[in-house]
Amino acid sequence: MKIQRPCTKEKEQILEILKEDIGKEYLEDMVNEVDRVVEGKQDGLVLKEGKEILGYISWQRKIKTIYLETIAVKKEFQRKGYGRILVSSFLEHATRKNPDIEVLNVITDADAKKAISFYQSCGFQVSGSVNNEFIPDTPQVHLSLKINKQK
């Protein structure tokens, strides 16, 4: 198993994984995001077994925090710990490049119970809920993870 930055020719494989499980409303933004990631304009990683991509994660710095933008694991490989491996690789990469950062954030649909339990299992805590944020009448939950800076 390898974790690395994706390259341009892996774009379609990543989009296939995202289309399996993420709402259609998000598709156009996700295509643009994956374009930026494979072009090296935004941070992101893929988890691979040989040439097969099993998972994808992307993030962005915003002011003094980092937002985990998208995470997805190929359906048949879910619930095997790959999501958690992607989050810990993201933590390592993001904090190495941004040593001043103390908070990581993520936003997800409030009805996405599986995603919320997943983020909580990675140490994120719910910090609030916002209505009409990305989609009218669809509340979003915000979760944060404070990084322990003790050395």
Ligand X SMILES: CC(C)(COP(=O)(O)OP(=O)(O)OC[C@H]1O[C@@H](n2cnc3c(N)ncnc32)[C@H](O)[C@@H]1OP(=O)(O)O)[C@@H](O)C(=O)NCCC(=O)NCCS
- Residues engaged in binding ligand X (CB under 6 A): 21-22, 70-73, 78-84, 108, 112, 114-115, 117-118, 121
- Closest separation in Å from C-beta 47 to ligand X: 9
User: Helix 27-38 to helix 11-21 angle, to the nearest 10 degrees?
Assistant: 150
Nearer to ligand X, 100 or 118 (CB): 118
Residue nearest to ligand X (CB): 83
Nearer to ligand X, 46 or 108 (CB): 108
- Closest separation in Å from C-beta 4 to ligand X: 18
How many other β-carbons are positioned within 10 Å of the β-carbon of residue 136? 7
Nearer to ligand X, 5 or 113 (CB): 113
- Closest separation in Å from C-beta 43 to ligand X: 15
Q: CA of 91: how far to CAs of 7, 25, 68, 77, 87, in Å?
A: 21, 27, 10, 21, 6
- Closest separation in Å from C-beta 81 to ligand X: 5
Nearer to ligand X, 144 or 151 (CB): 144
Collect all residues with Cβ–Cβ distance below 8 Å to 6 and sequence separation of at least 6. 14, 34, 37, 38, 44, 45, 46, 53, 56
Contact between 10 and 53 (Cβ < 8 Å):
yes
